[in-house]
Amino acid sequence: MKPPIFSMDQTQFYYPGQDMMIKDSAGGIFGSDYSNEQYKELETGRTRLLFVGVVFAFVFLLISARLFEFTVLKENTAMAASKEYQTPSLSSVIKRADITDREGTVLATGLPVVNLYSDNSKIQPEDIDTIAADVVRTISGLSYKTVRERLSRNSRFVYIKRNLTPKEQYEINRLGYPCFAFENGEKRVYPQGRLFSHILGVVGLDNQGLSGIENYFDDKLLNKNEPVKLSVDSGVQRSVRKILEDNIRHFQADNGTAIVMDVNTFEIIAMVSLPDFDPNDFSESEDKEAFNRATLGVYEFGSVFKIINTAIALETGVVELQDKIDSSPLRLTAHKTVKDFHPLNRPLSVTEIMVHSSNTASARLGLEIGENRQREYFSRLGLLEKSDIELPEIASPLIPKYWKAQATVANVAYGYGIAVTPLQVLNAVSAIVNGGTYYPASFLSPNPHLTGEGTRVVSDKNSALMRQVLRAVVEEGSGKKADVKGYNVGGKTGTAEMTSNGKWQTNKVRASFVAVFPSDKPKYAVLVMLEDPKGIKEETYGFRTAGWNAAKCAGEIIANIGPQLGVLPEFTEEEKENLYQKVGLNL
């Protein structure tokens, strides 16, 4: 038996195998029976064993890595791909940019949807009836006849239903028919419903703009990610629409329109045309609902045009504010004599002509201005061509064919013989009261037209005089019902007889009112037009002229939107005292 192995000093203990490295003086290994040849063989075996171990370890690590790749990484990648296919990200589905108002409120946006289609090559002819019946039973609103016809087509791609709800998609999957598949798509939605229908317009099934802003900015909305920001204000639009709707109902008018414009930037803050439609369900709308009266309808505005006529007369030097003009009946031709609705038959100052809305005195001013200058200023005010605004639904004005005739010049002076859109009228009046510079109106903020020079239409002095005259109309004349305490409203009424098949309808009128506020330093202009309003015996004494209805509607709009637009009312000391007394307080 071998004795225990110790070091030479008999104090150091060695683990098994360490003793093989201890050599004696003869060159052998101390405490070992192995020869040198045996030791070398042992070392060779140990080296081989170590090499095999390293190889096995490497192979083990390689196999482990591949297993990790296939079981973890590949699975996650497959899951991600599957998830992307089933619920694609908004950025990959939504192609059309949003439309917002001036404050960033979303007016139009896109939502991801799925469309159901069929690969009819996977349908056996004898199964068509059964499949069609199951589809109609699963998805409401589909016609069996229509579905069957689509499933019978010799096509590998036929739409069955667009914009499925998640529940409908689930139920179709449950049917288990291999012919059905789903296409990721986008649905255009309008969160504000009818509120901006005539401004925004609609898109078609292929998501291309068909009308309104959607059509005008179609390329921009499809090719850029940033939203199109409009100048309109959702709060103001909502107020204007409600008040206009209430007044149409109250006065039993056929329809109406109202526009609010910033007179300094010419940005449109609100524009309503009633009746309107729901752009989320345009297929259900009627033609009269889709018609935008604010920009597509052209009308004779009657006495509202006296604002333009008077401004031209002052600017051309035909008359001074204090001058007197004859208001007796004016005979133009053997069959045409101009008369006033409330004849005074005496000379009137320029302010009185406007306050009493004298047709005869206005016609005389028009004749003094003459055809050439009348046309020139109408052109400067944008009344002889289509409005340059961001809508495709823009009508061209109806211009007199024989403008040189005296009767034509006289008629145009008080709003007959020329038909323009409500937008054109408000655009022109805004230029007259803002200091005298015209720019085209815009639905964008800021207005892109302001980068160039505007068109000078009247001087600062005459613009100030016109504001003074318009204030007098509201204080003393037919615009009294538009007067809103603290807002210093100025304006002008217009009541024009309507035509049908080229004949005047004396029992039907179009009532309109244009207002500016505050009239001393105008910020906003408002136009209201009511078509064929009815007289109310207890309220209007049977009258249906603009002073009783359109002016009232405009006043209600101003009182409501003034605070929303940051225009605070300013009261005189007397008005303040009266207000405090009404609420039982002392100054």
Token pair 């207890």 is found at 538
What's the pLDDT at 171?
93
What's the pLDDT at 383?
98
Residue 416: pLDDT over 80 = yes
What's the pLDDT at 36?
64
Residue 508: pLDDT over 70 = yes
The predicted model gives 556-584 an average pLDDT of 85
User: DSSP per residue over 242-265, as a string?
Assistant: HHHHHHHHHTT-SEEEEEEEETTT
What's the pLDDT at 263?
98
What's the pLDDT at 79?
45
- Distance, in Å, from the CA atom of 327 to the CA atom of 343, rounded to the nearest integer, reads 8
Q: Which residue has the higher pLDDT, 438 or 571?
A: 438
Among candidate residues 399, 350, 353, 405, the one with its CA nearest the CA of residue 378: 399
For the chain, the first-to-last Cα distance in angstroms comes to 127
Which residues are tagged catalytic?
303
Residue 268: pLDDT over 90 = yes
- Distance, in Å, from the CA atom of 1 to the CA atom of 20, rounded to the nearest integer, reads 17
- What are the pLDDT digits (tens) for 90-131? 445 678 999 999 999 999 999 888 999 999 999 999 999 999
Residue 236: pLDDT over 50 = yes
What's the pLDDT at 55?
77
The predicted model gives 284-313 an average pLDDT of 95
Tokens at 394, concatenated: 């823009």
Residue 420 contacts residue 383 (beta carbons within 8 Å): yes
Residues 6 or more apart whose CB falls under 8 angstroms from that of 53 comprise: none
Q: What percent of the chain has pLDDT over 90?
A: 71
What's the pLDDT at 52?
76
The predicted model gives 373-396 an average pLDDT of 97
- Distance, in Å, from the CA atom of 113 to the CA atom of 184, rounded to the nearest integer, reads 6
What's the pLDDT at 174?
92
What's the pLDDT at 71?
65
**Average pLDDT of every residue of the chain:** 88
What's the pLDDT at 581?
73
What's the pLDDT at 372?
97
What's the pLDDT at 35?
60
What's the pLDDT at 575?
72
Q: Which residue has the higher pLDDT, 132 or 206?
A: 132
User: How sure is the predictor about 317, in pLDDT bands with cuts at 50, 70 and 90?
Assistant: very high
What's the pLDDT at 201?
97
Residues 6 or more apart whose CB falls under 8 angstroms from that of 477 comprise: 354, 355, 356, 357, 493, 547
What's the pLDDT at 5?
44
What's the pLDDT at 74?
52
CA dihedral 471, 472, 473, 474 (to 10 degrees): 60
What's the pLDDT at 90?
44
What's the pLDDT at 150?
94
Residue 247: pLDDT over 90 = yes
Residue 44: pLDDT over 90 = no
What's the pLDDT at 72?
59
The predicted model gives 223-240 an average pLDDT of 94
- What are the pLDDT digits (tens) for 46-97? 777 777 777 777 777 778 777 776 665 554 554 444 444 344 444 456 789 9
- What are the pLDDT digits (tens) for 163-221? 888 899 999 999 999 999 998 888 999 999 999 999 999 999 888 999 999 999 999 99
Residue 378: pLDDT over 70 = yes
User: How sure is the predictor about 14, in pLDDT bands with cuts at 50, 70 and 90?
Assistant: very low
What's the pLDDT at 37?
66
User: DSSP per residue over 307-336, as a string?
Assistant: HHHHHHHHHTTS--TT-EE--S-EEEETTE
Residue 476 contacts residue 355 (beta carbons within 8 Å): yes
Helix, strand, coil percent content, the chain, rounded in steps of 5:
45, 20, 40
Residue 477: pLDDT over 70 = yes
Q: What is the DSSP letter of 72?
A: I
User: How sure is the predictor about 15, in pLDDT bands with cuts at 50, 70 and 90?
Assistant: very low
